[in-house]
Structure formats: structure tokens, C-alpha cells
Amino acid sequence: MDDIAIPICASSELVEGGKGVRFPVTAGGEDSTGFVVRYDNVVYGYLNRCAHVPIELDWNQGDFFESSGLYLMCSTHGAIYTPETGRCAGGPCRGGRLRPIAVFEKENQVFWTPDDYIKPARA
């Protein structure tokens, strides 16, 4: 499974500090979503699950950044995370972090790579 690269979106769809792109995954055997965002000109991917309470972060599809564009924020409880590490930066997540998903860009396309916990969505 290490050699699998699954396309998510065109690189141009991810604007610095703008909307993220969601994609279907299976996490720990459950249907879920992952997401990618661009921050400081780098693409980051995470499981769309708050470290405080396991619910999706975005309040509207793809809205992961809070108003300053500096942090990812859980729309339900206000937990904030640093985009480059996924670590809790404030709020009820206290020391938690988002579950990273390995992502990379190649030939103007964004891809993700499954691991032991996060796998392609079930058919």
C-alpha cells in the first residue's frame, strides 16, 4: 500500500489560506473524510476529525481556516490547530493534534498516500 498515490485535486484548487478540499477515506475501519489545505505555500493533509471530540472541523464544506487564515479551527468547539503540524494551539483540544495524512504535489496535482490507519474509501 506504500506505493499507492491517490489523486485529490489540481494544485490550483488550493489557494494560500483559502478553502480546503475534502476527500473520502476509511479511518480505522470507519467511513470518514480527509482534507488538504495550502499554508505557507505547502500542502498539508489531515483526517477531518477534531482531537477534542471526533467530529468534522469545517463549518461549510472546505472552510477549515479561522478568519485570520493562520489556524485551522473546529467549527463546533473552537479548537484551533497549527496548519503545518496539526498541533492544538488553543481551545479545548489541550495538547491534542490532528491525524496527519501524507500528501504531496506532482505535475500540478495533489495526491495522498494511505497508511496503516487511513486507507482508501470503501466502495
Q: What is the mean pLDDT of the chain?
A: 93
Distance CA 112, CA 73 (A): 22
- Contact of 34 with 42, CB cutoff 8 Å: no
Domain harbouring 13, CATH code:
2.102.10.10
Distance CA 44, CA 78 (A): 20
Q: Is 68 left (phi over 0), alpha (psi -120 to 50) or beta?
A: alpha
- Note the pLDDT tens digit of each residue in 27-39: 999 999 999 999 9
The answer to the question of residue 91 being in a domain is: yes
Q: Highest-confidence range of 32-41, 69-78, 85-94, by mean pLDDT? A: 32-41
The predicted model scores a pTM of 0.94
The pLDDT score that the predictor gives to residue 59 is 85
The answer to the question of residue 41 being in a domain is: yes
The answer to the question of residue 19 being in a domain is: yes
The answer to the question of residue 29 being in a domain is: yes
The answer to the question of residue 17 being in a domain is: yes
Q: Mean of the pLDDT values across residues 90-117?
A: 94
The answer to the question of residue 1 being in a domain is: no
- Note the pLDDT tens digit of each residue in 98-109: 999 999 999 999
Q: Mean of the pLDDT values across residues 66-91?
A: 93
Q: How confident is the model at residue 123 (pLDDT cuts 50, 70, 90)?
A: low
Q: Please state the domain count of the chain.
A: 1
Domain range for residue 16? 6-120
Q: How confident is the model at residue 1 (pLDDT cuts 50, 70, 90)?
A: very low
